C-alpha cells in the first residue's frame, strides 16, 4: 500500500503536481465488490511500476468533488494521466496486464 497514496481534497492537488509526468488514479468505493477485488492488483502494479508513475486512489464517497471533476459515473475506474491530461481510462475490473499496459504506454 505504500506505493499508493490515498487522495482527498486536502492532498489531491499536491499529488497531481508531484514530479513525474505520469499519474494513475483508481476511483473506488468501500461498497463496490469489483473495487475491492481490484485493490490487490492495483497495489501490485503500483509496486512494480513505481519508477514510471505515481499511483493514487480516490474513495468516491470520501471525495465526491474529485470524482465529479473527472465525470466518474462507474467504479472501479482507473485513469492514467500524462503531463496533467487524461490519456487512458479503464472502467471495470480487468486482468493485471490491462493496467500495466495502460501505464507503460503513457510512460
Given 22, 32, 38, 102, which residue is catalytic?
32
CATH superfamily membership of 4-106: Glutaredoxin (3.40.30.10)
pLDDT of residue 66: 97
Dihedral Cα 21, 49, 51, 55, nearest 10 deg:
50
Q: Quick check: 64 pLDDT over 60? A: yes
Q: Measured between alpha carbons, how far is 80 from 89 in angstroms, rounded to an integer? A: 6
Q: What is the pLDDT of residues 4-29, one digit of tens each?
A: 999 999 999 999 998 878 999 999 99
Tell me if residue 32 is catalytic: yes
Once rounded to an integer, what is the mean pLDDT over residues 63-76?
A: 97
Mean pLDDT estimate for the chain: 95
pTM above the 0.85 mark?
Answer: yes
Once rounded to an integer, what is the mean pLDDT over residues 99-103?
A: 97
Given 7, 24, 25, 35, which residue is catalytic?
35
Q: Please state the domain extents for the chain.
A: 4-106
Amino acid at each position: 500500500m505504500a506505493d499508493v497514496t490515498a487522495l482527498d481534497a486536502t492532498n489531491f492537488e499536491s499529488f497531481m503536481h508531484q514530479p513525474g509526468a505520469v499519474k494513475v488514479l483508481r476511483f473506488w468505493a468501500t461498497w463496490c465488490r469489483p473495487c475491492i477485488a481490484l485493490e490487490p492488483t492495483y497495489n501490485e502494479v503500483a509496486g512494480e511500476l513505481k519508477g514510471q508513475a505515481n499511483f493514487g486512489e480516490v474513495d468516491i464517497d470520501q471525495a465526491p468533488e474529485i470524482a465529479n471533476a473527472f465525470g466518474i459515473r462507474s467504479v472501479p475506474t482507473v485513469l492514467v494521466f500524462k503531463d496533467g491530461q487524461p490519456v487512458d481510462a479503464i472502467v471495470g475490473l480487468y486482468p493485471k496486464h490491462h493496467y500495466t499496459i495502460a501505464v507503460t504506454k503513457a510512460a
